[in-house]
C-alpha cells in the first residue's frame, strides 16, 4: 500500500501529459491522496477515458485538452484552471515525447518542434503557476527529466538535449523561486514500463538487457515514479529543492 500524505489533501495539482503512461499514474496517485487534480493532454480520448475512470474520487480529476507547444493555449488553460479553482499548489511538468531520430535527418523545423515538445513548455507552465504560488506563500514544481542523457542512448540526441536542459531549468527555477517558498525538483525516471514504451521501443531482448544493467533487476512501472512525486510534493519533503531524484533501479549501462 502506498503512503498517505495528509498535506496533499485538497491541494490543487496540475499534471501535464496526464492522459496516459507516467502522467496518468500521477493523476491517479494524487487523486487518491484527496488532491484536486487538473490534467492536460493533447490526446482527447485518453484524457476523457481517465477522467471517467476516476470519476468516483473525492475530487474527480478534470481533463483539459491543451497543446503544450502553443504557449498562448498553455497560458489560457492555466488561467482557466486558476479562475475556476484557485492557484495551483503543485505543478508536475511531465509531458514529453521520445521519438527517435537520425542526426542526418534533422531539419531546423524538426529541432524546434522537438524542443517545444520536450523542454520549452516546462518553463512556461512554471511561469504560469509561479505568481499564484507566490501569492499563496509557496508551492511545488516537479519537472520530469530522463536517464537517457546520463547514459548517452542512441538516436535521441535532441531528446537528450532537452532532458539535460530540464535539469538546468530545475536548478534555475529553484534558485529564483526559493525565496517565495516554492520548491522545484527534477524526477529522473529510468526505463519505465509504459504502454508506449512497450509498443514502440521494447522487446523481450531489450528488456532483458535493461534489467541486467540495473542494480535492482526489476522493471520500473509508472506507479514507482508517481510514488516519488507524491513524496516530493508533500510537506514531508519540505527541505528538498533544486535536486534530481532518480527512479531508475540503479541503471548504469546503456
Query: What amino acid positions are annotated as catalytic residues?
Result: 159
User: What letter does residue 90 receive in the DSSP assignment?
Assistant: E
| Strand order from edge to edge, sheet including 36-41 | 62-65, 36-41, 12-16, 90-93, 139-144, 182-189, 244-247
Calculate helix-pair angle for 21-32, 44-53, nearest 10 degrees: 30
Q: Which residues lie across from 143 on neighbouring strands? A: 93, 186
How many angstroms separate the CA atoms of 20 and 22, rounded?
Answer: 7
How many angstroms separate the CA atoms of 239 and 236, rounded?
Answer: 8
Which conformational region is residue 240 in: left (phi greater than 0), alpha (psi within -120 to 50 degrees), or beta?
A: beta
CA distances, 192 to each of 146, 161, 167, 206 (Å): 10, 20, 19, 13
How many angstroms separate the CA atoms of 84 and 147, rounded?
Answer: 36
Instruction: For the chain, give the number of residues.
Output: 254
Q: Which three cell numbers stand for residue 56?
A: 468516483
Which 3 state secondary structure label does DSSP give 76? Answer: helix
Q: Which three cell numbers stand for residue 45?
A: 480520448
Amino acid at each position: 500500500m502506498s503512503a498517505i500524505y495528509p498535506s496533499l489533501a485538497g491541494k490543487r495539482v496540475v499534471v501535464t501529459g496526464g492522459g496516459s503512461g507516467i502522467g496518468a499514474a500521477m493523476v491517479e496517485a494524487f487523486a487518491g491522496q484527496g488532491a484536486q487534480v487538473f490534467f492536460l493532454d493533447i490526446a482527447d480520448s485518453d484524457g476523457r477515458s481517465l477522467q471517467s475512470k476516476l470519476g468516483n474520487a473525492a475530487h474527480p480529476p478534470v481533463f483539459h485538452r491543451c497543446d503544450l507547444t502553443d504557449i498562448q493555449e498553455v497560458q489560457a488553460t492555466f488561467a482557466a484552471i486558476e479562475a475556476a479553482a484557485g492557484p495551483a499548489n503543485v505543478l508536475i511538468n511531465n509531458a514529453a515525447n521520445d521519438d527517435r531520430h537520425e542526426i542526418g535527418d534533422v531539419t531546423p523545423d524538426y529541432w524546434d518542434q522537438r524542443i517545444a515538445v520536450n523542454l520549452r513548455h516546462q518553463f512556461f507552465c512554471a511561469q504560469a503557476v509561479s505568481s499564484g504560488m507566490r501569492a499563496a506563500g509557496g508551492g511545488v514544481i516537479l519537472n520530469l527529466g530522463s536517464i537517457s542523457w546520463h547514459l548517452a542512448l542512441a538516436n535521441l540526441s535532441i531528446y537528450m538535449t532537452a532532458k539535460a536542459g530540464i535539469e538546468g531549468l530545475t536548478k534555475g527555477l529553484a534558485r529564483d523561486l526559493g525565496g517565495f517558498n516554492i520548491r522545484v525538483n527534477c524526477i529522473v525516471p529510468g526505463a519505465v514500463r509504459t504502454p508506449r514504451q512497450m509498443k514502440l521501443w521494447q522487446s523481450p531482448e531489450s528488456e532483458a538487457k535493461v534489467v541486467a544493467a540495473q542494480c535492482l533487476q526489476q522493471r520500473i512501472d509508472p506507479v514507482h515514479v508517481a510514488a516519488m512525486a507524491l513524496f516530493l510534493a508533500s510537506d514531508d519533503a519540505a527541505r528538498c529543492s533544486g535536486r534530481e531524484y532518480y527512479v531508475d533501479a540503479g541503471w548504469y549501462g546503456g
